[in-house]
A = this chain, B = another copy of it.
Amino acid sequence: MSELQSFDWSGWSEHELKRVDLAMQQWLKPFEPQALYESMSHALLGGGKRLRPLLCLAAREAMREFDGAKPRADLEQAALRAACALEMVHAYSLVHDDMPCMDNDVLRRGLPTVHVKFGESMALLCGDALQTLAFEVITPEPQEVSEAIQARLCRILSRAAGLQGMCGGQAIDLSSVGLRLTQAQLELMHAKKTGALLRASVLMGAACSHLEDSRWQSCAQFLTTFAEKLGLAFQVIDDVLDVVSDAKTLGKTPGKDALNDKPNFVALLGLEGARDYAMGLYDEALDQLSQSGLKQTQALGALAALVVHRKS
């Protein structure tokens, strides 16, 4: 990855992660009742890779060249809010997925899941309130972020999280247990279940830029295809890790797909086949970045590498 030579990935990502964590703490301050606050805080601030916030901020970096000469504090603020909102939606989905009526998982990021620690009814409310908080965070008073960008962020996020996106994919997943899906059906499910929010991460970051430039639309299209390739690679690697990893490295219970007879890429393509498929998608994703002609895509490229080389 020659583009990484002139780019300080660890400096950039550490700096951005710190901003995201600080902002999330600021937007989720202690409140009554304590149990709701603590469960939300456990779900949101208990670690995680923060892949969606970083993708969002990396896409903002890539599209920064459209800003014009003046520094745009409003666009930085919008992107930071969008990044946190994405993590909130992701965190809510994990809390609800882990519940006994869904995957019945007791371990997440090496810690007890929310329903284990706070009870089922609080886990239900915790997820509900995290979803709402995402929309709260991206709709501040208009002096912080322009209302046009607020509306755009809500439009992208709601379509990615709802019945056409994440929730729809979850429901297809639920209805597919024990079925033999074709690769195309499996990919459609994942495009909704995890892909839609990863795609929204890139789109929301890209939306936090000055849109008037005529080149913007074509660049946004390259970033969208990048995100779609990356989202699929993410899921293929997830399936690989579910087979080869242990609970300690993974931070959650491995082997659940096979146990629950859930369709997955390793079952379809074999272990090596799945790995090769992910690496091919990675190359195609990087190709989209080069084709875009954008100059500041190094952070996006580094995130793509992280997705396919991760161990957990």
Contacts and interface: CB of A to CB of B under 8 A. Distances in A.
Interface of A: 31-33, 35-37, 40, 92, 96, 99, 101-102, 119-122, 124-125, 127-129, 131-133, 135-136, 138-140, 142, 147-148, 150-152, 154-155, 157-159, 161-164, 167-168, 170-172, 174-175
Given A31-B168, A101-B120, A121-B174, A150 B158 contact: no
Contacts of A133: 158, 162-163
Contacts of A175: 33, 35
B151 A135 contact: no
Contacts of A170: 125
B171 A158 contact: no
A32 B99 CA distance: 23
Which 8 A-B pairs rank lowest in CB-CB distance, beginning with the nearest?
A: A132-B162, A101-B120, A36-B171, A147-B151, A129-B167, A150-B151, A135-B158, A139-B155
Given A33-B171, A142-B151, A150-B154, A163 B121 contact: no
B171 A125 contact: yes
A177 to B, nearest CB: 10
Given A132-B131, A132-B158, A154-B135, A40 B121 contact: no
A101 B99 CA distance: 11
A163 B140 CA distance: 16
B161 A132 contact: yes
A295 B159 CA distance: 39
B135 A31 contact: no
User: Of A32, A35, A36, A135, which is in contact with the most chain B CB atoms at under 10 Å from its CB?
Assistant: A135
30 contacts: A31-B168, A32-B168, A33-B171, A35-B171, A35-B174, A36-B163, A37-B163, A40-B163, A99-B124, A101-B119, A101-B124, A102-B124, A125-B174, A128-B131, A129-B163, A129-B168, A129-B171, A131-B132, A132-B158, A135-B157, A136-B155, A139-B158, A142-B151, A147-B147, A147-B148, A147-B150, A147-B151, A148-B151, A150-B150, A151-B151
A209 to B, nearest CB: 16
A129 B162 contact: yes
Nearest to A28: B163
B148 A36 contact: no
Given A96-B125, A101-B120, A139-B151, 12 more contacts: A33-B168, A33-B175, A35-B171, A36-B167, A37-B163, A92-B128, A131-B132, A132-B158, A132-B162, A132-B167, A142-B151, A151-B151
